[in-house]
């Protein structure tokens, strides 16, 4: 659920969140012993959070069409987003405990958790750029999205030194496919 919250903050698109996060999490949950129905339900309900969290595409369309401030809509969405997110996480946790899914899960140590956070530092800057830029009044949602893409590309190329032309091509192709699926 938390992953979908972060991805929704980046994409603003419900279908893109479900496709991207579900493509990774559903197979992982199935390998961890979760049944298909629960894995799918958790990921699709979590993907719906993208509608509430900025830069929400439906909020942008509504604000533009109705003549309402998109920034005000984004600010108004914070409390419902947090409440719905917490409610979904608690619900998934309770169901997982009742069905004894957590018993088979392997937990990471604190050292492993902090090491993973350290490795993810550049990636965790993307929501800071997007949300900080929008709420700080520095950028529009579109500019924040473009800035986040530019930052991610620079981070992959220069900081992490993991971007190649082949990987760039694959990322562009994958993004195009995800966008095409979300538009159909």
pLDDT in tens, 18-28: 888 888 888 98
Confidence band, pLDDT 50/70/90 cuts, at residue 10? low
Interval 96-125 mean pLDDT? 82
For the full predicted model, state whether its pTM sits above 0.75. no
Give the residue extent of every domain in the chain: 2-183
pLDDT in tens, 46-72: 887 777 777 777 888 888 899 988 878
Within the chain, what is the greatest distance between any pair of CA atoms?
51
Confidence band, pLDDT 50/70/90 cuts, at residue 33? confident
CA 179 – CA 173 distance, rounded (Å): 10
CA 149 – CA 167 distance, rounded (Å): 15
The tokens for 30 are 């199935």
Interval 15-37 mean pLDDT? 85
Interval 125-131 mean pLDDT? 83
pLDDT in tens, 138-181: 988 778 878 988 998 898 888 888 888 999 899 889 888 877 87
Confidence band, pLDDT 50/70/90 cuts, at residue 108? confident
- In this model, does residue 184 exceed pLDDT 70? no
The set of long-range contacts for 159-163, using a CB threshold of 8 Å and a minimum separation of 24, is 159/122, 160/122
Interval 77-84 mean pLDDT? 85
């Amino acid at each position: 659920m938390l992953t979908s919250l972060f991805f929704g903050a980046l994409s603003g698109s419900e279908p893109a969140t479900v496709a991207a996060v579900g493509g990774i999490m559903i197979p992982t949950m199935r390998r961890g012993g979760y049944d298909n129905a629960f894995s799918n339900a958790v990921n699709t309900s979590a993907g719906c959070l993208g509608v509430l969290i900025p830069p929400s595409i439906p909020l942008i369309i509504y604000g533009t069409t109705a003549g309402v401030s998109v920034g005000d809509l984004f600010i108004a969405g914070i409390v419902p987003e947090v409440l719905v997110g917490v409610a979904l996480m608690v619900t998934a946790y309770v169901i997982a405990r009742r069905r004894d899914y957590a018993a088979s899960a392997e937990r990471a140590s604190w050292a492993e958790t902090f090491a993973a956070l350290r490795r993810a530092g550049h990636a965790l800057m993307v929501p800071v750029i997007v949300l900080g830029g929008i709420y700080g009044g520095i950028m529009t949602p579109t500019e924040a999205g473009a800035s986040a893409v530019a930052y991610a590309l620079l981070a992959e190329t220069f900081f992490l030194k993991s971007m190649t032309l082949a990987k760039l091509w694959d990322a562009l192709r994958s993004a195009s496919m995800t966008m095409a699926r979300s538009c159909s």
